[in-house]
Structure 1
């Protein structure tokens, strides 16, 4: 079997959980004796370690004349054409995140290949994305809806995600399969946190609440920040976070 995987994220260009998911999924798929894996991603990476092949498709969005908030929209659309123009010998195409859904739609329609979508998150549940994408949010929502409703199979990463998919999209329940995210227990094991606490000067004389994630409304970080003032002083709060998604949430974090 030839599996064609479309992703916006793939190492070394991971910024969220979807990229990690795709990295480990493709690694495990390539271990199967009868599966060749062809990954197409948004970076400039190139990897060929049979049966795993990775190709990045860079786009210089700085050259776009469109407003900056639409660059991700048109960048993903341009890559959708490039993914498909390269041709393929796939038996199935598997898409991750809305950024690749247009590419998946084109592959299914033009090549007649079965389309599988994994739902990591859903646009109807991310209304704050309008703050970031403005009119582009209508496009991303339309692309996601179109792809999910025409897919031959949909993978939900939790039972809750399956419930949300069935609630917001016209998808037959039989087409939605729950496959939970896994973990490599050989790689991820409990460690002594003391060196990290010392390095980052985190007091270890009392318990702490730890947040790990992006500064985005999707992660609910503002609820935690707003709750800090109601917590007693028996706890510390530690935020391990990346750069804010938008200037608006950056300002809210600074004001808090």
Structure 2
């Protein structure tokens, strides 16, 4: 069997959880079936069981409009049709490539699997990033998700969201298969030199955030929480790839304001290398994930694998990853029904700070949470098991009994 995995992100161009997912899923699947990865960005790499084919959107699409990303997605999905006729099953990841699956099914009668890592109807703030292109991204996602032969939800919470956003979808077509983690790569290390390189004192505890600067990840709520943390607490923000210039400017203003009260804020405004992220996870006192919308939250797995205790928002798939009072603390908030933003953002920031402070003041409990987190990822989130579940779904569609 040969599967075509369609993705916008693939190494070396990975900036979010979907790209991480496809990177590791393709590697594990290639151990049991043939895999073609079709990604954005020119590349052509072949190994015994894995081929990576990268293409660029049409050059003719010259525009400065925010809708450019949606137009580019359609153009690249059309271009990819020229190389999909010889695969047995197509599997898309994110709306950027969803129409490739739709067209492959229609043109070549290929079974179509779609993994949803997030849902456009639940991300109204995407209009800030995509402009009028948000209407196009929403149309592409809806068209594909209603036509897919099977939909993979990365959590039970995501499955519920799919049925809420698209009530026409037959629940029997939705299959829950979690994200995973490379347990050999993500494990605790000691690398204080990486901290000192960024001016961080490795002898003092610090709170860590890793992720993109986007409304979804809620990093500005953590910045607002800094004023409520114990005086002088080190805070490390590995936060890059802003969705828009506007949110980048907002983030910068908030960090500058917070530094007036606490100068020990270290903002690394780029997506850090994997080895650096592992070092940061391994040595932090608390990892914080303040997402306001999170179908899964792979960064929590990464932190837990490195034995970091977690303080995370009680939303979406995070509820299935972080175990309250065992691997970390979950912080609830009342979401706006349209944007999912906290109705009371100040209270949310105060509540984040209270849970972070509780762990900063109880290192023994923090250490126990970290050890329990490692055990949890070992028992539940290995990529080998996730690849086996995915391949079994493929076989059920290609060779139905």
Hey, what does 2:65 align to over in structure 1? 68
Say which SS state the counterpart of residue 182 (structure 1) adopts. coil
The whole-number CA distance in structure 1 between the counterparts of 2:124 and 2:222 is: 19
Q: 1:97 aligns with which of 94, 99, 124?
A: 94
Q: Structure 2: where are the runs of 5+ without partners?
A: 255-401
The normalised TM-score by structure 2 is 0.60
Aligned to 2:106: 109
Out of 211, 214, 230, the residue aligned to residue 213 of structure 1 is 211
Give the aligned partner of residue 343 of structure 2: none
Tell whether the 8 Å contact from 1:206 to 1:234 is kept in structure 2 after alignment: no
Check whether the contact 2:214–2:243 (CA below 8 A) recurs between aligned residues.
Answer: yes
CA shift at 1:242, angstroms?
A: 1.2
| Alpha-carbon offset, residue 205 of structure 1 | 4.7
Residues 189-218 of structure 1: CA deviation (Å, up to 9, x unaligned): 111142222221213454322000111111
- Distance (whole Å) between structure 2 residues aligned to residue 69 and residue 81 of structure 1: 20
1: CA distance, partners of 2:104 / 2:118: 22
- 1:134, distance to aligned residue in structure 2 (A): 1.0
Residue 151 of structure 1 corresponds to 148
Query: What is the rounded CA distance, in whole Å, between the counterparts of 2:24 and 2:241 in structure 1?
Result: 25
Shift of 1:152: 0.8
Mapped partners of 1:87, 1:161: distance in 2: 29
Q: Does structure 1 retain, via aligned residues, the 8 Å contact 2:4–2:87?
A: yes
Q: Structure 1 unaligned runs (5+)?
A: none
Match of 1:40 in 2: 38
Counterpart for residue 247 of structure 1: 245
Paired position in structure 2 for 1:6:
6
In structure 2, the partner of 1:231 is 229
CA contact (8 A) 2:43 2:52 kept: yes
User: 39, 58, 82: which is aligned to 2:79?
Assistant: 82
Greater strand percent: which structure? 1
Instruction: Give SS of 1:47's match.
Output: strand
Deviations for 1:108-129, whole angstroms, at most 9, x for unmatched residues? 1111111111111111221111
1:34-66 Cα shifts (integer Å, max 9, x gaps): x211111111011111221111112365x5333
User: What SS does structure 2 have at the residue aligned with 1:68?
Assistant: coil
Counterpart in the other structure of 2:169: 171
CA distance in 1, matches of 2:23, 2:161: 25
Match of 1:134 in 2: 131
**CA shift for structure 1 position 68:** 3.3
| C-alpha distance in 1 between matches for 2:141 and 2:164 | 14
Deviation at 1:95, TM superposition (A): 0.1
Is the counterpart of residue 196 in structure 1 residue 179 in structure 2?
A: no
